[in-house]
A and B are shown apart, each in its own frame.
Chain A
Amino acid sequence: GENVEQHPSTLSVQEGDSAVIKCTYSDSASNYFPWYKQELGKRPQLIIDIRSNVGEKKDQRIAVTLNKTAKHFSLHITETQPEDSAVYFCAASTYSGGGADGLTFGKGTHLIIQP
């Protein structure tokens, strides 16, 4: 089955700086890679996702890059703000004509934005 590795486990950055979280996956059949933000005690919220037919996707301060050959994808947050502090999870899944498989999650990154 799929295995997703995520680094770092904790990331502390100064407000206004950029944050980068990296993930690798093992199953070359995986073709869908979402990123979720989870605040304490709450549900994961999708912040951005990318499919394997593109290499990069951007939404305002958030961007995701995908390298299919190397089987890794990264989350980039620019101009970090205090409200960006949370736990971030990467995930991988396979979409086919029959629908989606369940998500395999990385272990999470606790992002701390220092004022």
Chain B
Amino acid sequence: GAVVSQHPSRVICKSGTSVKIECRSLDFQATTMFWYRQFPKQSLMLMATSNEGSKATYEQGVEKDKFLINHASLTLSTLTVTSAHPEDSSFYICSAPPDPLETQYFGPGTRLLVL
């Protein structure tokens, strides 16, 4: 199957700092990638759709100025959590379909802990 990677796998930061998470499709090009957030023992919630060469589409309730998404190439999307606070601590996972009509493959996730 298609391979999606994320970096870093885990990060600990101080409150008020910004954290960048990278999502890469390793063996395919992805015009669209998705970002999800998963709190402990909860389900995955779609945060935003990342579109190569255009602005991201955010789900209702997700602050676009806080969660900056950039999809600069067909294999890389980045999520930057700006001015992180303890309540932003979560498991952030990206996904991408190898083909627009194909299923989505998930990255390994990034565990963010904000102190």
User: Is A99 a contact of B104 with CB atoms below 8 Å?
Assistant: no
Tally inter-chain residue pairs, CB-CB below 8 A.
58
Q: Which of A11-19, A40-48, A57-65, A70-78 contacts B (4 or more CB under 8 A)?
A: A40-48
CA distance in complex: A58, B106 (Å) = 22
CA distance in complex: A89, B46 (Å) = 14
Nearest 4 pairs of A and B residues by beta carbon: A99-B100, A102-B46, A43-B106, A102-B34
Taking the closest CB of chain A, its distance from the CB of B90, in whole angstroms, is: 13
User: Is A100 a contact of B32 with CB atoms below 8 Å?
Assistant: yes
Q: Which residues of B contact A (CB under 8 A)?
A: 1, 31-32, 34, 36, 42-46, 49, 59-60, 93, 95, 97, 100-101, 103-109, 111
User: Is A100 a contact of B100 with CB atoms below 8 Å?
Assistant: yes
User: Is B44 a contact of A89 with CB atoms below 8 Å?
Assistant: yes
Question: Which chain A residues lie closer than 8 Å to B1 at the CB level?
Answer: 46
User: Is A104 a contact of B46 with CB atoms below 8 Å?
Assistant: yes
Closest to A95 in B: B101
Interface residues on chain A, number (Cβ under 8 Å): 24
CA distance in complex: A36, B106 (Å) = 10
Q: Which residues of A contact B (CB under 8 A)?
A: 1, 32, 34, 36, 41-46, 49, 89, 95, 98-108
* Selected contact of B42 from candidates A98, A100, A107, CB within 8 Å: A107
Closest to B108 in A: A43
User: Is A98 a contact of B44 with CB atoms below 8 Å?
Assistant: no
Closest to B51 in A: A99
Taking the closest CB of chain A, its distance from the CB of B53, in whole angstroms, is: 14
* Selected contact of A46 from candidates B103, B107, B111, CB within 8 Å: B103
